[in-house]
Amino acid sequence: MGGAISLLAVNFIIAQVFVVAFLVVAAKSQAKRPAIWCACGFAVASLSAVFETVLPFSLVPKLFAVGAFASVLAGFILIRFGLGFFYRVPANLPFATALFAGSVVLDLLIYDLPRGTLKHAFFYQMPFCLVQAWSASTIIRSERRSRADWSLFCLLALSSIYYVVKVYAAIAAGSGTTAADYLASPFALVSQALGAMLIVATGMAILGVMVKEIIDEARASSELDALSGLCNRRGFADRVAPLLQEGGDDGPGTLILTDLDRFKLVNDTYGHHAGDEVIRQFSCVLRELMPSRAVAGRLGGEEFAVFLPRIGPADARVLAHGMRAAIASTRIIGLPEVAAVTASFGVAVVAAEEPLELAMQRADKALYAAKAGGRNRVECAEAPVHVVANPRRARS
C-alpha cells in the first residue's frame, strides 16, 4: 500500500504543477479561457489522490472511493471543455452533465461487485475511455493540423485505449475485492505509475499546443503593422517567401508596389490624424480587392506592396487599376469632400527562382515611372531577366 500511496502523492504534486503552469499560460495568452478550464480540470482531478489516500483509513470507504472516481472523471470533462474552447469545437453541456451523472450513479451501483470481475472493471473504466476519446475527437473535428496537435491527439487516443486495456489488466493481474484491497494490490502500483506517465505526457502536450499559440501570436504581432493591420516589411517578406517556391515555369506570381501620392502634403495640411485615416482606408481597399491567397504589406510610410500568387501581369494590372480607382473614390474622414486621395502603382512579374528583392527593384522602377508620368497611374515593369539559381551549373 505504501508504494501506491507514494505514487498518489507524486501524482497530486504533478497535478498542482500543471495547475500553476496553465494559470501562467492563461495570464500570458489572449485565449485565457481554455487554459483556465484545463487548470481547473487538473485541480479537480488531483482530488482523487486525496480521496484514495484517505480511503483505507475511513469508516465510510464507499464515499471516498466514489469521490475519487468522480473527481477524475470531472477533471477529464473540464479539460475537454478547455480543449473545446481552444480548438473551437465546444463541448455539449447537457451531454457532459448526463455522462458525469450517469457514470457516478453507475459507479455507486457496481461498488459492491468484486474489483477483479469483468462487469466491475468494464463499467468502471468505460467513462474515462469515453471522455478521453471525446477529447481526442475535438482535435480531429478542428481545423488545426500542426505536429503538436497531432501529438496531443495521439496521446489522448492512447489514454482512451489505456482504459480499455485496464479492464483486462484488472482481471488478469487482480485488483482486490474491495476499494481498500485495490490500493494494496500490485496492479494499483502499476496502474498509478502508467496513469501518471500518461497524465504528464498529455498535460505537457496540452501545454505545448497552448504555448505554441502564444509564440505564434507574438510572432504574428511582431510581423504586423499596427496602423494598417497589414504585414510590416519583415512579415511581408516572410509570408511571400514560401509562395515564391510554388510557381511553375511562368513564375510564382506578380508583385504590385504602390505609393500614396503627395502623402506628406496631406499630413502637413490636415494633420497626422487625417494621414493615419488615409493609411487605414487604403489598407482596407487593398484587403477588399486582393485575392484570398494574396499577401499585402505596408513597407513603410505611405509605401505598400501586394504579392499575387499564380496571377499574371495582365490580371495584376487590372487589379491595380481597380485599387487605384477605389482609393480615388473613397471618402476619407478628416479630409474635405473635394480632397481626393490617389495612389501610383508599379507592377512586376516575379520570374522563376528570382529573389523577391530583385522583383521589388523592378516594381519600384515602374512605380517611379508612374509618379513621373503624372501620378494616379499604373505602370508595368520590364520583363524579368531569367535568374539562374546555381551559377556553377550555368557555367558547366
Grid coordinates representing 267 are 499630413
Contact 305, 290 (CB under 8 A): no
Question: Which runs of consecutive H residues, i.e. helices, occur in the chain?
Answer: 2-28, 32-54, 61-87, 93-110, 118-141, 147-173, 179-184, 186-222, 233-244, 263-270, 272-289, 313-328, 356-372, 391-395
Quote the DSSP letter at residue 387.
Answer: P
Residue with cell 487538473: 42
CA distances from 184 to 68, 315, 325 (A): 16, 76, 81
Rounded CA separation 280/230 (Å): 10
* Half-sphere exposure for 319 (CA within 13 Å, toward CB): 25
Catalytic residue among 52, 223, 302, 354: 302
> What order of strands is seen across the sheet that includes strand 295-300?
295-300, 303-309, 253-260, 343-350, 378-380
Give the phi and the psi of residue 231 in degrees, each rounded to 5: -65, 150
How far apart, in whole angstroms, are the C-alpha atoms of residue 359 and residue 348? 6
Residue 140 CB: number of other CB atoms within 10 A?
Answer: 13
**Residue 74, all three cell numbers:** 470531472
Q: Taking a C-beta distance cutoff of 8 angstroms, is the pair 356, 350 a contact?
A: yes
Report the alpha-carbon distance of residue 304 to residue 288 in Å, rounded.
15
Radius of gyration of the chain (CA): 31
302 is catalytic: yes
Nearest CA to 33 out of 72, 109, 85 is that of: 85
Of 65, 67, 9, 16, give the one whose Cα is nearest residue 40: 16
Q: How far is CA 20 from the centre of its chain?
A: 21
Residues with active-site annotation? 302
